[in-house]
């Protein structure tokens, strides 16, 4: 089944704040600037369109980043679309000209899987292979800002095989169901690995198809694979003068929301930064914060596993600051928060 990136959109919102030296505002909003954790000892994975390792956000840590191309592209893992580079920058990118963009900057290893070709094409076969690779490599946290492309498959069946729309739609839904079952099985296998010291927390962007700015009723539920069993779907919120608000485009029914409006991160093909909107930008925030919790539990108890990290992450979420809450289906348990203590935690909230 074809897949599509959950594209980030150029933002009209200021992507930086003076409080953290002009870095991305999302760092402060999730408490990552007020924590004693930095991702030390944690292995991360980003399954996306690749990465631009020459960008200053990654150039100094390339010895800790492993890239694998699952598309057969001539670029061999290099990101020509820019999406994966931006997401990786939020999850573990280093400071650029003194401006902080990344959350888990002292990660142990990062595994970047390119599952979208240079032409933007992808399918679920590449996703399965990438997830198996990330798991076998020992990734603790996986971030995926992508979705199953049912409309794309219907168009493919109509164009390639000259099928009527009803027949193409029926066959696409059958394929969708089979892929969903396969995905559920793969996630279940990853969860079973936790008993043997393996397994990973998997995060996915909920999608950008909602249109609350047109009509509050125009909401779309979290897409696949975000809504699959065992995956943590992530919605997006943005800043207001007096707090935060779930983004108009953010799909409903997420498990949580993370900064996803005006997110400043690495721009592929150069040395600069770019502000984008999207649940694609929120997903690596949540995954990065999960890495901080993974480290905290390792420090506290000597080890960590996906279930305990998930419990800690969910337990720290807050609805504070969501001044236009609409309803719980829009924000799940609330905003993700890093493991901060005392007065620092109060300031971050």
Active-site hit among 78, 83, 86, 285: 83
All residues at 6 or more sequence positions from 106 whose CB lies less than 8 Å from its CB, including other chains: 38, 39, 40
Residue 156: the pLDDT is 87
Tell me the C-alpha distance between 49 and 79, whole Å. 6
| Cα–Cα nearest to 113, from 156, 136, 141, 84 | 84
Residue 349 pLDDT class (50, 70, 90 cuts): very low
**Is it true that the peptide bond before 174 is cis, omega within 30 degrees of 0?**
no
| Cα–Cα nearest to 29, from 232, 222, 289, 277 | 289
Q: What is the rounded end-to-end Cα distance, in angstroms, of the chain? A: 41
Tell me the C-alpha distance between 287 and 45, whole Å. 9
Residue 326: the pLDDT is 67
Residue 50: the pLDDT is 97
Beta strands in 247-306, from DSSP E residues, in sequence order: 256-259, 263-266, 273-277
Residue 342: the pLDDT is 52
pLDDT tens readout for residues 33-46: 999 999 999 999 99
45-72: average pLDDT? 97
Tell me the CB-side half-sphere exposure of residue 329, using CA atoms within 13 A: 10
Q: Is 221 a catalytic residue?
A: no
Tell me the C-alpha distance between 179 and 1, whole Å. 7
Active-site hit among 79, 149, 280, 285: 280
Active-site hit among 28, 48, 69, 277: 48
Tell me the C-alpha distance between 19 and 28, whole Å. 9
| Tokens 């679920």 sit on residue | 124
DSSP string, 100-145: ---SSTTBSEEEEEE-S-TTS--BHHHHHHHHHHHHHTT-SEEEE-
Tell me the C-alpha distance between 57 and 74, whole Å. 23
Residue 3 pLDDT class (50, 70, 90 cuts): confident
Higher pLDDT, 226 or 45: 45
All residues at 6 or more sequence positions from 262 whose CB lies less than 8 Å from its CB, including other chains: 11, 12, 13, 14, 15, 25, 238, 239, 275, 277
Residue 191: the pLDDT is 84
96-123: average pLDDT? 95
Tell me the C-alpha distance between 137 and 276, whole Å. 30
User: Residue 344 pLDDT > 60, yes or no?
Assistant: no
User: Residue 346 pLDDT > 80, yes or no?
Assistant: no
> pTM surpassing 0.85?
yes
Measured in degrees and rounded to the nearest 5, phi and psi for residue 202 equal: -115, 125
List C-alpha distances in Å: 29 to 26, 33, 166. Answer: 5, 9, 46
Domains of the chain by range and CATH?
5-149+201-348 (3.40.50.200)
Least confident of 32-41, 75-84, 180-189: 180-189
Q: Is 48 a catalytic residue?
A: yes
Residue 235: the pLDDT is 96
Q: SS3 for 16? A: strand
């Amino acid at each position: 089944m074809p897949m599509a990136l959950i594209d980030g959109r150029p933002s009209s919102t200021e992507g930086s704040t003076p409080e953290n030296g002009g870095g991305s505002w999302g760092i402060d909003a999730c408490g990552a600037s007020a924590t004693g954790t930095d991702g030390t000892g944690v292995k991360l994975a980003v399954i996306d369109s690749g990465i631009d390792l020459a960008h200053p956000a990654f150039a100094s840590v390339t010895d800790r980043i492993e890239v694998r191309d699952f598309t057969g592209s001539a670029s061999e893992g290099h990101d020509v679309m820019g999406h994966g580079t931006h997401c990786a920058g939020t999850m573990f990118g280093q400071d650029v000209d003194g401006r902080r963009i990344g959350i888990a900057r002292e990660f142990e290893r990062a595994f970047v899987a390119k599952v979208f070709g240079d032409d933007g094409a992808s399918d679920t076969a590449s996703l399965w292979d990438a997830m198996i690779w990330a798991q076998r490599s020992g990734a603790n946290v996986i971030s995926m800002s992508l979705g199953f492309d049912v409309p794309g498959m219907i168009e493919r069946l109509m164009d390639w095989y000259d099928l009527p729309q009803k027949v193409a739609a029926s066959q696409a839904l059958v394929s969708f169901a089979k892929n969903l079952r396969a995905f559920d099985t793969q996630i279940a296998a990853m969860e079973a690995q936790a008993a043997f010291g393996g397994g990973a927390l998997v995060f996915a962007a909920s999608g950008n198809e909602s249109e609350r700015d047109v009509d509050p009723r125009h909401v779309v539920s979290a897409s696949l694979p975000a809504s699959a069993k065992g995956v943590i779907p992530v919605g997006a919120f943005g800043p207001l003068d007096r707090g935060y608000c779930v983004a108009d485009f953010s799909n409903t029914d997420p498990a949580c929301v993370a900064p996803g409006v005006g997110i400043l991160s690495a721009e592929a093909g150069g040395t600069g930064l770019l502000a984008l909107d999207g649940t694609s930008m929120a997903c690596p925030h949540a995954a990065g914060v999960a890495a901080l919790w993974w480290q905290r539990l390792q420090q506290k108890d000597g080890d960590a596993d996906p279930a305990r990290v998930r419990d800690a992450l969910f337990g720290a979420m807050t609805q504070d600051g969501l001044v236009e809450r609409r309803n719980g289906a829009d924000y799940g348990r609330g905003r993700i928060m890093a493991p901060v203590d005392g007065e620092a935690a109060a300031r971050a909230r």
